[in-house]
Structure 1
Amino acid sequence: MTTLAEVAVRAGVTPATVSNVLRKRGKVGAATRQRVLDAVEALGYRPHLTARALAEGSAPTLALMVTSIANPFYPEFALAAERAARKNGRFLIVCNTNEDPVISRAYLDQIAGTLSEGVLVMNSRIAFDDLHTTRARGTPVVLCMWERPEVSPGLPCIAVDFFAAGALAAQHLLDLGHTRIGAIIGSQPDGVQAARYAGFCHTLKVAGVPHPEQEARFTRDAVQGGYEAACELLTEHHDLTAIFATNDLPALGAMHAAADRGMRIPDDLSVIGITDIQLARESRPGLSTVAVPTDAAAAMAVELLEALIESGGHCETPMRVAPPPVLVQRASTGRVRS
């Protein structure tokens, strides 16, 4: 591997001059700069990012911690965050924790502040104590897609009004004449998707439409979780005309369950989710959903993290709220049959 010293010898300059050219700092004449760049190209030199980070106490990278890279939403968010990071001349490291606190803590201990200058965290399943410890060590942390804009998590965050998303889904089904609606929640009652279900329930209550607790299922945020929950709901409550799911994956599972029972979507059962992942657009029938501002939230998260890095961890607006969710009606919802 070519070293910086070898580049300096070929260009006839000092290693410090090579470093200044590559970092675009210091006063270097045009002719000298070109000699250095020509030497870099000829020798195929590439900076050793790890060594630079350790030597300078900073890194040209940001870390994004996700709970499961198998969930298709996270790659979509990572792609948007990576685009935003590149605009700022940074790389993005994606850290998959598998919902394991030991793995999460290891990433924070080994990467935060060394290989990455700041950390984006997709949700609060990572222990808040660990995140506060990371901040106390001098590495900025930003929570992404925080689901309760009305309550501060005590950390800088980008919030999305998921209560409103649940309300939009409920109102859409009500507008189509549905009053017998089952619910599938992709978390535990006090979990990360609780605000979505709360918005759904509030809208039904205001409309005077009952929603007994036995017509809701709390399950895994996965296609299989939605499939199993929908099978239970449709077996126990034959008069349901619609199912609301707090995320697109369980909603897709509900559609599969209905199809396996010989039900037609949306003639026999309407299904709606939340998020608008690529699979929702590609499913047949297309899944009606409430789209959340994934690209905007990712860009805002990177912007906030950069501001925290530049300011030494302080920011005037530690919570920034992303644009509101938007209803996207596709073929999986229709008017209730009389």
Structure 2
Amino acid sequence: MTTINEVARHAGVTPATVSNVLRSRGRVGAETRQRVLDAIDALGYRPHLAARALAEGRAPTLALMVSSIANPFYPEFALAVERAARASGHFVIICNTNEDPLMGRAYLDQIAGTLSEGVLVMNANLDFADLHLTEARGAPVVLCMWEKPNDPPGLPSVAVDFALAGRLAASHLIELGHRRIGAIVGSKVSGIHTPRYEGFVAAMKAAHLTVHAEHVRHAPDTVQGGYAAAHELLSANPEITALFATNDLPALGAIHAAADLGLAVPGDLSVTGITDIQLARESRPALTTVAVPTAEAAKLAVTLLRELIATGTRPSDMAPVLYETSPPRLVVRASTAPPRSARRPSRSR
């Protein structure tokens, strides 16, 4: 592997001059700079990022922590983060915690402040005490797509109004004429999807409709979780004409369950989700959902993190910044329609 010293000898300059050219620092004449760049090309020199990080105490990388890279939303968000970071000359390290707080803590201990200048956290099930400790060690932390804009988490954040997303989805079903609407919540009770469900409940109450406990299921935020919850819900409650899911994956699972129960979507059952992942557009029928501003949230998160890095802001210096994205928006596709005027026959259980 070519070293910086070999580049310096080839160009007839000092290693410090090569370093200044690579980092666009110091005063280097145009002719000298070109000679160094020619030497870099001729020798195929590539900076060693880990070595630079150790030498300078910083790295041109940002860490993005996610709870499960198997969830297709996170690769889409990671791509948006990577694009925003690359525009500012940063690389992105993806840290998949696999919903394990201990793994997340290990990432924070090993990467934050050494291999990465700062950390973006996307629903990674991390203890806030660990995140505050990471800040105190000098590595800024930004929470991505915080779900409660009116309830700041005490850390720099980018928030999305997910309660509004729930209200939009429920209002759409109500406006279509549905009155017996079930809900699949893709988290535990009082879990991360609670604001989405609260928005759904608010819209139902505003329309003077009751949310029956037997019409609600909490399930894993997966296609399989949505399938199991919808199958049980629809089998036990044949009067339901529409299902609201707090995320697209459970909504897609609900469509599959409906098919296995002999129900047509949207003829017999309307289904809505939240997020608008690529699969929502490609499913058949295409899923009606509430799109959240993923690319905007990623860009805001990267911008906020870069500002914290550049200014050296410490958690004690000021109140944590919270940026809010533009509102979620309803995207109507083929999975929703008015309910049939005639009551459907009871389904076999």
With the shorter chain as reference, the TM-score category is: over 0.9
Task: Tell me the distance in 1 between the aligned counterparts of 2:311 and 2:25.
Answer: 20
Note if 1:333 corresponds to 2:336. yes
Shift in Å at residue 123 of structure 1?
A: 2.0
Alignment of 1:1-338 (within 5 A): 1-123=1-123, 125-313=125-313, 318-338=321-341
Provide the secondary structure at the position in 2 that maps to 1:95.
strand
Cα deviation 1:289-336 (Å, max 9, x = unaligned) = 000000000000000000111111256761010110000000000011
Q: Residue 11 of structure 1 aligns to which amino acid in structure 2?
A: A
| Letter in structure 1 aligned against 2:152 | S
Distance of 2:115 and 2:294 partners within structure 1:
26
Structure 2 contact 155–320 (Cα < 8 Å) conserved: no
C-alpha separation in 1, matches of 2:283 and 2:229: 19
- Which 4+ residue blocks in structure 1 deviate beyond 3 angstroms? 314-317
Distance 1:311 1:13 in 2: 33
Deviation per CA, 1:147-178, whole angstroms, max 9, x where unpaired?
00000101000000000000000000000000
TM-score of the superposed pair, with normalisation by structure 2: 0.96
- Give the letter aligned to residue 190 of structure 2: D
In structure 2, what is the Cα distance between the partners aligned to 1:175 and 1:324?
20
Give, as a single letter, the amino acid of the residue that structure 2 aligns with 1:121.
Answer: V
Aligned equivalents of 1:62 and 1:298: distance in 2? Answer: 12
Count of aligned residue pairs for this structure pair: 338
**Separation in 2 of the partners of 1:105 and 1:287?**
36
Contact 1:124 1:192 (C-alpha < 8 Å) held by counterparts: no
TM-score when normalising by structure 1: 0.99
Between the aligned partners of 2:292 and 2:251, the Cα distance in structure 1 is 15
Q: Deviations over 1:212-245 (max 9, x none)?
A: 1111000100000000000011111001000000
Could you tell me which amino acid in structure 1 is paired with residue 224 of structure 2?
A: Q
Work out the CA distance in 1 between the residues paired with 2:306 and 2:214: 46
In structure 1, distance between residues paired with 2:166 and 2:205: 13
CA separation in 2, counterparts of 1:210 and 1:30?
73
Q: CA deviation at 1:125?
A: 1.6
Report if the CA contact (8 A) 2:154-2:320 is conserved: no
Tell me how far 1:59 sits from its aligned partner: 0.7
Q: In structure 1, the residue corresponding to 2:65 is in which secondary structure?
A: strand
Q: How far does the alpha carbon of each residue in 1:13-70 deviate from its partner, in whole angstroms, 9 at most, with x for none? A: 0000000111111111111111111110011000010011111111100000000000
Retained in 1: the 8 A contact 2:248–2:273? yes
Matched-pair identity in %? 67
Instruction: Give 1:129's aligned amino acid.
Output: A
**What is the CA RMSD across the aligned residues, in angstroms?**
0.9
Unaligned runs of 5+ in 1: none
* Distance in 2 (alpha carbons) for counterparts of 1:232 and 1:257: 9
CA contact under 8 A between 2:67 and 2:124: conserved in structure 1?
no
Q: For 1:31, what is the secondary structure of its paired residue?
A: helix
Are the equivalent residues in 2 in contact too, given 1:124–1:143 (CA < 8 A)? no
C-alpha distance in 2, partners of 1:300/1:142? 10
Report the secondary structure of 2:279's partner residue: helix
Matches of 1:10 and 1:169, distance apart in 2 = 64
